[in-house]
A = this chain, B = another copy of it.
Amino acid sequence: MDTSETAAPEVSPSPRGAAETPWLDAREQRFWRAHLEVGKLLEHQLSRELQSHNLAINDYEILVVLSESPERRMRMTDLATATLQSKSRLSHQITRMETAGLVLRQECPGDRRGLYAHLTEHGWQTLQQVAPDHVRSVREHFIDRLTDEQLDAMYAALAPIAEHLRGLRGRG
């Protein structure tokens, strides 16, 4: 099984490209593939477990973000930014979640820009029910498989990269 998105084995970069950007070497490539694979497989596993609660993984994220917001609501535009989704994709998702009774979309009186997504009481109860199982899975399949040293070292490596990427996204 191969989940690489970068290796292009028989393809060599053009001489010019090679001079500018070296191909990934074997060490870099095995790391890059492991990174992609863990991301994908972990999402797959967590999604599968959330399905038993009739939740998609993106639904769970929305429930968490809204639960953290003042008055458990957020302007749709801000929610799209927070969850790194396009507005149209978020809109479809919120429609689905409204049907399930997890959130409610409402205009904010006196705020012409404002269409808000609200967490409903059912959404809040659902999050409280599901969160312990979800945390258990995150521990079992990921966090508890890392030593404290690995966890801190990976955080130190990832945090500046996250900041760099946030900056790029802001400029996009």
**Chain B contacts of A161 at CB under 8 A?**
38, 42, 141-142, 145-146
Could you tell me the distance in whole angstroms from the C-beta of A49 to the nearest C-beta in chain B?
10
Residues of B within 8 A of A116 (CB): none
Interface centre among A67, A152, A153, A157 (most CB of B within 10 A): A157
For chain A, residues 136 to 171, give those with C-beta under 8 angstroms from any C-beta of chain B.
Answer: 136, 138-139, 141-143, 145-146, 148, 150-162, 164-166, 168-169
For the complex, give the distance between the alpha carbons of A42 and B157 in Å. Answer: 14
User: Complex formed: what's the CA distance from A11 to B125 in Å?
Assistant: 10
Q: Does A102 contact B (CB under 8 A)?
A: no
A3 to B60, CA, bound (A): 11
